[in-house]
Amino acid sequence: MQGIGNDFVMVDAIQHPLEPTGLPTLAQQVNDRKFGIGGDGLILLERGESAPFRMRMFNPDGSESEMCGNGIRCLAKLAREGGHLSGSTLDVETGAGILKLRIEENGHVRVDMGPARFLRGEIGMIGDPAAKFVDEPLTASVSGLRGTAVSMGNPHLVIFVADAMAIDLEKLGPELEHHPDFPKRTNVHFIQVLSRSELRQRTWERGAGITLACGTGACASAAAAWLTGRSDAEVTIHLPGGDLRIEIMPEHGVFMTGPAEAVFTGEYESPN
């Protein structure tokens, strides 16, 4: 399945349970674009303990991610198409907490992503856990870059630039993913402000590299733009794979709306 070009190998693990011990290796195998199926992640639809459904997401390097915004929209469609959901709303247990989703009449999925968090301790940064990192210079990095750190249940570093397309993402992405301020690594987003209601985003994802879209990253970028006075509370974010609509509701959280669709179905025979 794919959500604006962010593609995933989706497994209905309610019908086809998988052995948990082999999931990191399986993720590396199936996400390989030459010797596997190819994808930005392996996502499992499971029964939850605290909600009807649970999502687990593994990056192409085998590491497990707390959340995936484009992936959870795909999960909603998979749950309904797999016969597990009769209505249009569902609650999903994730590493970032329980999220509420609604499948709209046009097929897009609206997700209550919860609040954006700005404290270092919430993000997983070193330093004073009660302090924020907002529009601050990035030490031990390329000169002149300033960033804002945000957690959407997973860590994000948002950097505002004059021209997102001019950024050497292959060079800066891995350097910033492994920035010493982020012991567990971070997702990196370069954001160009087009207007008060439009942003352009390019992303280097933790454990995946360059991707066509990042849903949690779009939420983090919109929150950072709003917090620093660069945009309104409701924006359209243009990503290489398509557009997402993000709404910041300070007393309620961040809401993301976008498409998700199946590309193909099949069976995978593990080489092990």
| Rounded-to-integer distance, Cα 104 and Cα 81, Å | 14
Task: Report CA-CA distances (Å) from 83 to 1, 28, 59, 150.
Answer: 17, 28, 26, 36
Q: Would you say residue 8 has pLDDT above 80?
A: yes
Give the whole-angstrom CA distance, residue 250 versus residue 115: 8
Query: Which are the contacts of 180, defined by CB distance < 8 A and separation ≥ 6?
Result: 126, 140
Please determine, for residue 252, whether its predicted confidence score (pLDDT) is greater than 90. Answer: no
CB-count exposure of residue 263 (10 Å: 0-12, 13-18, 19+): exposed
How do residues 181-199 score in pLDDT, each as one tens digit? 999 999 999 999 999 999 9
pLDDT at site 180: 93
Indicate the SS3 state at residue 239.
Answer: strand
3-state SS, residue 216: helix
Torsion of CA 120, 139, 190, 204, to 10 degrees: -80
Q: 60 near 208, Cβ under 8 Å?
A: yes
pLDDT tens digits, 48-57: 999 999 999 9
In whole angstroms, give the CA distance from residue 198 to residue 164. Answer: 13
Residues designated as active site = 68, 214
Give me the residue label for tokens 């997401």. Answer: 57
Overall average pLDDT of the 246-262 stretch:
93
pTM above 0.85, yes or no: yes
DSSP state for residue 208 in the 8-state scheme: T
